[in-house]
Amino acid sequence: MPHNCGHHHSCHLSKKALIMAIAINGVLTIAQIIGGVAANSLALLTDALHNASDALALVLALVAIIIGERPADDKRSFGYKRAESIAALINLTALIMLGLYLAGKSIHNLFVPEDVHAPIMIWVALVALIIDTGTALLLRTHAHSSENMRAAFLHNVMDALASLAVIIGGLAIFYKGWNWIDPALSLIISLYVIAHGYQAMKNTIHLLMQGTPHHIDTAALEQTMRAHDYVIDIHHIHVWQLHEHRTALEAHVVISDIRQMESVKQSLKALLHEKFHISHSTLEFEDTEVSENCKKHSHN
């Protein structure tokens, strides 16, 4: 989520939609767990896990809005946005572990299929499909307001498709007696949840480790800065994300005329913001003599 929604009314609507979606997904997840146990259906239980992962995405989107409204203070000068990433890392770890357990259980049941109560499986999945579709429609109108809202919308679309697959599987079990379809569906959904969780975890760890943002081409950035008339050299470049939607940079800039430092600084900052969306940049300026001395000391 950006630092703000751009408009207070937009923030309020997004929060209201998210709270409703979280409540709906929470109730649905509990219903799917109960239905999965009653029907002895791993596919329903795994779909509940998938739904829980989407509820988590909704919670994190809501947290991003709430934390984004909290100003920085003396203890957290960069603000509280990374709390969202820390929470995401903890939850994604638990999600992947549960996904691995269900995948293992699914593989076992493929070889030793268990009887599944297909009618319960079908009806619970049908209710899930209706609710997931309704939630997706609820979030669709807000999907343009931020990446978090768009991700939450797409998560619910995928949930609806998973529920549709469970319905089709339930019908196959009911009419054909193919009990192996239940663990097969469970395995497919588990692997999807694990893969999605792993990718999200990689991105979260990359952010927490202050890795260079994926959308930043460091070589192109350096070349752009060097192209400035007064810039002789650039070194000690560090680019990282303060949080998902704010990128920072620090660099040493060698210029030919130290008297032009202020105008060069403002020019470079504007350039970094316009071309690379870097909103926080710290530039340390050196003239050619200081730069040469620094290089000599670094080689000694």
Summarised one tens digit per residue, pLDDT across range 284-296 is 998 876 555 555 5
Which residues are paired to 252 by β-bridges?
235, 284
Cα 226 to Cα 19, 57, 112, 143, 222, distances in angstroms: 48, 41, 65, 38, 6
Q: Give the fold, CATH level 3, of 218-299.
A: Alpha-Beta Plaits (3.30.70)
Query: Which stretches of the chain are DSSP H helices?
Result: 8-39, 42-68, 82-111, 118-140, 147-176, 181-208, 218-226, 261-276, 288-299
- CATH 3.30.70.1350, the chain: domain bounds: 218-299
Check the CA dihedral 183-184-187-189 and report its sign: negative
- CATH 1.20.1510.10, the chain: domain bounds: 8-208
Residue among 191, 233, 224 nearest 49 (CA): 191
Predicted confidence at residue 2, as pLDDT, reads: 41
Are residues 49 and 96 in contact, defined by beta-carbon separation less than 8 angstroms?
no
Predicted confidence at residue 158, as pLDDT, reads: 80
Report the 10 Å Cβ neighbour count for 199: 11
Angle value at C-alpha 38, between 33 and 41, nearest 5 degrees: 70
Low-confidence ranges of the chain (pLDDT < 70): 1-14, 68, 142-152, 289-300
Are residues 273 and 279 in contact, defined by beta-carbon separation less than 8 angstroms?
yes
Structurally, at CATH architecture level, domain 8-208 sits in Up-down Bundle (1.20)
**In sequence order, which residues have a C-beta less than 8 Å from that of residue 247 and are 6 or more positions away?**
213, 216, 239, 240, 241, 276, 277, 278, 279, 280
One-letter amino acid of 194: I
What is the C-alpha to C-alpha distance for residues 142 and 154, in angstroms, rounded to an integer? 12
Predicted confidence at residue 149, as pLDDT, reads: 60
pTM flag (> 0.75): no
